[in-house]
Structure 1
Amino acid sequence: MNASAQRQLPLEPQSSGIEAQHTELHPDLNRAHVRFVSLGKTYEGRQGPVQALGNIDLAIQRGEIFGIIGRSGAGKSSLIRTINRLEQPSSGRVLIDQVDIAEFNEDKLVELRRRIGMIFQHFNLMSARTVWQNVELPLKVAGVPKAQRQRKVAELLELVGLKDKHKAYPAQLSGGQKQRVGIARALVHDPAILLCDEATSALDPETTQSILGLLREINQRLGLTIVLITHEMAVIRDICHRVVVLEQGQVVEQGAVWQVFGDPHHQVSKTLLAPLQLGLPQELAARLTAQPLAPEATLLLDVHFTGASGEEPDLAALFAALGGKVKLLQGGVERIQDRAIGHLILSVAGSPHNRDELLARALTQAPRVEVLGYVA
Structure 2
Amino acid sequence: MSQAIALRAPIVPPSPARADGPATHVHASPAQIHFLGLGKTYPGQAQPALHGIDLSIRRGEIFGIIGRSGAGKSSLLRTINRLEQPSHGRVLIDQVDIAPFDEDQLVALRRRIGMIFQHFNLMSAKTVWQNVELPLKVAGVAKAERQRKVRQLLALVGLEEKHHVYPAQLSGGQKQRVGIARALVHDPQILLCDEATSALDPETTASILELLRDINRRLGLTVVLITHEMAVIRDICHRVVVLEQGEVVEQGDVWRVFGTPRHAVTRTLLAPLQTQVPEALQATLRASPISRNSAVVLKLTVLGEPALSELFADLGGRVRLLQGGVQTIGGHALGQLILSVQDAPHDTAQLLERAGRWAEQVEVLGHVV
With normalisation by structure 2, the TM-score equals: 0.89
Alignment of 1:47-86 (within 5 A): 48-86=45-83
Q: CA deviation at 1:290?
A: 2.6
Q: Deviations over 1:10-67 (max 9, x none)?
A: xxxxxxxxxxxxxxxxxxxx9321111111111112xx54411111111111111111
Q: CA deviation at 1:335?
A: 1.4
**Does residue 108 in structure 1 map to residue 105 in structure 2?**
yes
Residue matched to 2:93 = 96
Q: CA deviation at 1:354?
A: 4.3
Alignment of 1:1-376 (within 5 A): 6-7=15-16, 31-45=30-44, 48-305=45-302, 307=303, 311-376=304-369
Unaligned runs of 5+ in 1: 9-29
Secondary structure of residue in 2 paired with 1:303: strand
Measure the CA separation in 1 of the matches of 2:77 and 2:136.
Answer: 24
Q: CA deviation at 1:358?
A: 2.8
Aligned pairs, number: 346
Identity of aligned residues (%): 71
Measure the CA separation in 1 of the matches of 2:298 and 2:30.
Answer: 44
Secondary structure of residue in 1 paired with 2:293: coil
With normalisation by structure 1, the TM-score equals: 0.88
| Amino acid in structure 2 at the alignment position of 1:123 | F
Q: CA deviation at 1:295?
A: 3.7
Measure the CA separation in 2 of the matches of 1:350 and 1:94.
Answer: 58
| Amino acid in structure 2 at the alignment position of 1:32 | A
Q: Is the 1:44–1:50 Cα contact (8 Å) retained in structure 2?
A: no
Residue matched to 2:3 = none
Measure the CA separation in 2 of the matches of 1:357 and 1:93.
Answer: 49
Q: CA deviation at 1:265?
A: 1.2
Secondary structure of residue in 2 paired with 1:179: helix
| Amino acid in structure 2 at the alignment position of 1:97 | D
Q: Decide whether aligned partners of structure 1 residues 372 and 85 sit closer, same or farther in structure 2, where only a CA change above 3 A counts.
A: same
Measure the CA separation in 1 of the matches of 2:346 and 2:162.
Answer: 67
Measure the CA separation in 1 of the matches of 2:357 and 2:174.
Answer: 50
Q: Which has the higher contact order (CA 8 A, sep 6+)?
A: 2
Measure the CA separation in 1 of the matches of 2:48 and 2:360.
Answer: 38
Measure the CA separation in 2 of the matches of 1:362 and 1:95.
Answer: 44
Unaligned runs of 5+ in 2: 1-12, 18-28
Secondary structure of residue in 1 paired with 2:284: coil
Q: Decide whether aligned partners of structure 1 residues 291 and 6 sit closer, same or farther in structure 2, where only a CA change above 3 A counts.
A: closer
Measure the CA separation in 2 of the matches of 1:57 and 1:214.
Answer: 30
| Amino acid in structure 2 at the alignment position of 1:302 | K
| Amino acid in structure 2 at the alignment position of 1:291 | S
